[in-house]
Amino acid sequence: MKKIAIGSDHAGYSLKQALITYLKSMSYEVVDFGTNSEDRADYPDYAHPVAEAIERKEFEFAVLICGSANGISMTANKHQGVRCAICWKPEIATLARAHNDANIISFPARFITLEDAISGLNEFLNTKFEGGRHTGRVDKISC
């Protein structure tokens, strides 16, 4: 069974729950790092554990969600080996994987439809890294 990590703050909670349902219907084992309600929550409290799990290679891919996707992505990208990409259109998710070898997709819950999130997630999970000329660039990302 394929395994994926997911986390959000309060602004992303509703979208996270919908994506969990979708991922489970696609036979993914989903590990939810929280939050567990729409009560105010700080995005770093969920981004750090998800990013640490990617660092430890417990998961190949993860999903993070907050209102704008900015704060949660900035937090995740502090971790070595994490390449978290903000995606609001499926085409951006495709390029994040194909050109940047992103391993976390981040959605702006306040600015994306569920349909675009699902399409983007499918593109993200089904697109392979192209390598080639992109490999050297990706290798320069980590400090």
Q: What is the 3-state secondary structure (H, E, C) of the chain?
A: CEEEEEEECHHHHHHHHHHHHHHHHCCEEEEECCCCCCCCCCCHHHHHHHHHHHHCCCCCCEEEEECCCHHHHHHHCCCCCCCEEECCCHHHHHHHHHCCCCCEEEEEHHHCCHHHHHHHHHHHHHCCCCCCHHHHHHHCCCC
pTM of the predicted structure, to 2 decimals: 0.97
Q: Has residue 101 got a pLDDT over 90?
A: yes
Residue 84 annotated to the active site: no
- Catalytic residue (choose from 10, 84, 87, 99): 99
Q: Has residue 142 got a pLDDT over 90?
A: no
Count of domains forming the chain: 1
- Catalytic residue (choose from 66, 79, 84, 87): 66
Which position has the higher pLDDT, 1 or 38? 38
Q: pLDDT tens for residues 53-85?
A: 999 999 999 999 999 999 999 999 999 999 999
Tell me which residue range forms the domain holding 93: 2-139
Q: Has residue 1 got a pLDDT over 80?
A: no
Residue 134 annotated to the active site: no
CATH code at position 132: 3.40.1400.10
Q: Has residue 87 got a pLDDT over 80?
A: yes
- C-alpha closest to that of 105 among 116, 120, 91, 119: 120
45/4 Cα distance (integer angstroms): 18
Query: Is beta strand 62-66 parallel, antiparallel or unpaired with respect to 104-108?
Result: parallel
The tokens for 133 are 């000329």
